[in-house]
Each structure stands twice: as structure tokens, then as C-alpha cells.
Structure 1
Amino acid sequence: YHLDGNVLERVCEFRDLGVVFNKNLSFTPHIEYIVLKANHVFYIIKRTVGYSAPQYVKLRLFTTLVRPMLENCSQVWSPSFKKDIYFIE
């Protein structure tokens, strides 16, 4: 494709307003990215706090640091495939 004499390059994934989608307009790459990022933060919490901390402290840290990552822009990329839903859970 050309636009004003410039050749447009072909891309497989694109990020717009922080949401990643692929050429089929599937949000699976975005879901994989946010789950990977949330797991990283979760393991940092787990390593830092450890098993000796009370349950309410772990729950508060999880709801404060991890859940917002998983819920950010969820209205846009609302998972419709079962594999994406299970991956997020």
C-alpha cells in the first residue's frame, strides 16, 4: 500500500493507547503481555513478603498492584475466547 508516495510497511502487531492487537484485530497479544507483566509483579510481591506475612497484607498488595494491571482498559479488549479468559484467571 502507498500513502502520498510513501510505502506503508506491514506489521504483525500494533499498539494503540496502550492496547496491543494483531493484524486479525485479536487482543491475544495484549492479554499475554499484561498477564506476563502481572505475574512478574506478583512474584516480586511473593519473594519480598514471603510466607510469613499475614493473609490480609498479601491480599492488599495483590489488589493494589496486580489487579489494576489486569483490569486496565478491559472494556476495550474484553476477552471473548475461552483460552484468553483462562489465561487471565
Structure 2
Amino acid sequence: MFINDLDKGTECTLSKFANDKNLGRMADTPECCAAIQGDLDRLENWAKKNHMKFNKGKCRVLHLGKNNPKHQYRLEVDLLGSSTAEKDLEVLVDTKFSMSQQCALMAKKANGILGCIQKSVASRLREVMLPLYSALVRPHLECCVQFWGHQFKKDRELLERVQRRAAKMMRGLEHLSVMRKG
């Protein structure tokens, strides 16, 4: 089904990707909150007209900013729950725009993959391990790096620990796992 007309008449920004839709705008006045609610009503009417339903259980409100009035929004009669963090296209965004949760999640995934490699690959040769690391682990460590940009030292150190663990696993690179002071 084509959804090109989904955002027709909306006042807010509506981003569409596959089956995910995000509606957003600054909500610092009652008029702005009313505009968001109006767009939600418009989207609900579009869904009815096209014999579709929104999964209201997956619809959440992420209130951003210090001056956000934290207005409660609804789809039809159902109030939408609010959230302190939401994942969008594999990026975890919280109300403070801190990337610490995202870094912890990526480090956990990368460490899990390293564990699988360690258990299932007998060879520790650099020629074997480096391509596995580059293809399976490194993309998780680099996920969204342009967005979060090494905001906090603790986040950077968390990701570096995963890299040191990977270096320890490779014959010939064990010396890189020693922390340097400087």
C-alpha cells in the first residue's frame, strides 16, 4: 500500500521509514501541543479511511527539552504512554540526548559477538580474526559514532575495552591490549 499521502496536511515533521513513522515538533506552547494532537487526529483519520490501524501499544511520546510541558497525547480515546528513551533505526535516544545507553548497548552486542567468535573459532591468527572482527564486531562499535561523537570519556573507554579484548584474542596483537598512560 502506498502511504505517500500520509503526511498530507500535517503541521509537524513526519518521518517515514519502512513501517516506522515518527511525528515531531517543538512543543513549548499550548498551540504547539494542539498542533501535534491535530496531526495525530489527522493520521488516525487517514488510517480509518485506508482501512488500517496503528499499533497503539507501540506508539510512545518522547518529551525532549527542559521547557517541555509534557502534554499527554492520544490516538482516538487512548492516551499514549510516555517514554524516557526510544530506539529509532537502531539509535537509542533518551530525553537528555545522552548516548551512554547507546554505547552500553553496542558494547554489550559487540562483546557477545566476540564471545561467539572466541568459542567457535579455533585459530587465533591475525589473518583469521581480523576479518571476523572487522565484519562482525567493529560495525557495532562504530554504530552512530557520527551522531554521538565521543561525548563522554566513560563511553569511549567502554568501547575501547571491547577493542582491547579483541586484540587479546589475536595472536600477534596481544601487546596492543596493554593500556598506555600518557
TM-score, normalised to structure 2, is 0.44
Structure 1, unmatched stretches of 5+, are none
Q: Which SS does the other structure have where 1:76 is aligned?
A: helix
Rounded to whole Å, the distance in 2 between the matches of 1:77 and 1:39 is 20
**Which is richer in helix?**
1
Number of residue equivalences: 88
The equivalent residue for 2:159 is 88
Instruction: Quote how far apart the aligned CAs of 1:6 are.
Output: 5.8
Residues 25/53 of structure 1: CA separation in 2 closer, same or farther (3 Å cut): closer
Q: Which SS does the other structure have where 1:79 is aligned?
A: coil
Instruction: Quote how far apart the aligned CAs of 1:8 are.
Output: 4.2
Partners of 1:21 and 1:28 within 8 A in 2: no
Instruction: Quote how far apart the aligned CAs of 1:35 are.
Output: 0.5
Rounded to whole Å, the distance in 2 between the matches of 1:14 and 1:53 is 38
The equivalent residue for 2:130 is 59
Following TM superposition, where does structure 1 have runs of at least 4 consecutive aligned residues deviating by more than 4 angstroms? Answer: none
TM-score, normalised to structure 1, is 0.84
Which is greater in Rg? 2
Instruction: Quote how far apart the aligned CAs of 1:14 are.
Output: 1.1
Q: Which SS does the other structure have where 2:98 is aligned?
A: coil
Identity percentage of aligned residues = 32
Deviations 1:29-84 (A, max 9, x none): 1111111001000110111113x442210111111111111112211122210000
Q: Which SS does the other structure have where 1:58 is aligned?
A: helix
**Aligned Cα root-mean-square deviation (Å):** 1.8
Residues 39/25 of structure 1: CA separation in 2 closer, same or farther (3 Å cut): same
The higher-RCO structure (CA 8 Å, 6+ apart) is: 1
1:1-89 aligned at under 5 Å gives the runs 1-3=71-73, 7-50=79-122, 52-89=123-160
